[in-house]
Structures are given as C-alpha cells and as structure tokens.
Amino acid sequence: MEQSIAIRILRQLGGLNFINNTGCSGFVYKPTENWLQMKLPANKSGYNRVRISLEADNTYTYCFFHAETEASCTLRAITAGELKSIFTQLTGLPCEK
C-alpha cells in the first residue's frame, strides 16, 4: 500500500477532524498489506487498537482489537460512507462534532 492509500483511509474518516474529535494516535501504515492502524483512547468497546484495510473490491475491513489480549472484532465489506458511523457505534467516539 502506498502512503496515499493510508491518507485516503484517514480522509474517509474525516482527516484532522477525526483525529481531533476521537483522540486517536500512533498511526501506522503497512505498505505491503493495505492497512492503516491506530491507537484508540479509552472507549466503550474496550479495544485499544483498530486496523482498517482497503480491500480489492474497494470496501473496507475493520479489525478492532486489544493489544495486550486476544480480544478482537472484525467487520468486513464496509463502504466508505459507513466508516464513520460504524466507528462511532462500536467505540462511542465521535468522528464529527
């Protein structure tokens, strides 16, 4: 994955507004595996990381997980228009204010 794909994923979430509103940090992208990962602040799901992958069919996969345990939740076939609402539903963190 090129860095531009990671930027595309972040823009779909709301860019700097997303970062400011949610408090997410520690952004990492993996050029060879099409994903952007970030640390989550305390939230209702209890997960402290999320990885968002852009799939070949132009949909996204969310993988919410806890870095110290094996707890995880994977959601597939998410459209760009659903990224924000699903993130907020699962974490309780507002993508927009």
User: Average pLDDT of the chain?
Assistant: 94
The pLDDT value recorded for residue 2 is 61
Between 42 and 3, the more confident residue is 42
The pLDDT value recorded for residue 1 is 44
- At the top level of CATH, the class of 3-91 is alpha beta
Among candidate residues 89, 55, 61, 96, the one with its CA nearest the CA of residue 75: 61
Give mean pLDDT, residues 56-85.
96
Answer yes or no: is pLDDT of 36 > 90: yes
Between 1 and 41, the more confident residue is 41
Contacts of 95 (CB under 8 A, 6+ apart): 13, 14, 17, 18, 21, 22, 84, 87, 88
